[in-house]
């Protein structure tokens, strides 16, 4: 998999906001602290289609913006299917 879209300024803003919620653990690796931020996004499908990317989006000023998109081999959906994507970010903290 690889990123086909990556909006770094918007992603950084999203992670900064998410970090303020205080729900994300701090882990220590080799004496350095890291924050682990995990978020799940759900998507429901109402038609048959082939999905070849997974998107992390956020609502900004009432509009959905793409923060990141992973391209992949794809999967088929049918009406009523629901996809849950778990995004995990690890970043260093002071």
Per-residue pLDDT of the chain in tens (94 residues, 90 and over written 9): 577 789 999 999 999 988 888 788 999 999 999 999 998 889 899 999 988 888 899 988 999 999 998 888 888 999 999 989 898 999 998 7
Tell me, what's the pLDDT at 73?
83
**What is the C-alpha to C-alpha distance for residues 30 and 16, in angstroms, rounded to an integer?**
24
Cα separation of 48 and 78, whole Å? 4
pTM of the prediction? 0.75
pLDDT at 28: 95
């Amino acid at each position: 998999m690889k990123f086909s879209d990556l909006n770094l300024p918007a992603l950084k803003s999203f992670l900064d906001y998410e970090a303020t919620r205080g729900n994300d653990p701090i882990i220590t690796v080799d004496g350095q602290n890291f924050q682990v931020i995990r978020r799940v996004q759900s998507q429901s499908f109402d038609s048959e289609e082939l999905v070849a990317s997974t998107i992390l989006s956020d609502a900004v000023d009432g509009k959905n913006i793409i923060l990141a998109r992973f391209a992949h081999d794809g999967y088929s959906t049918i009406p009523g299917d629901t996809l849950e994507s778990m995004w995990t970010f690890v970043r260093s903290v002071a």
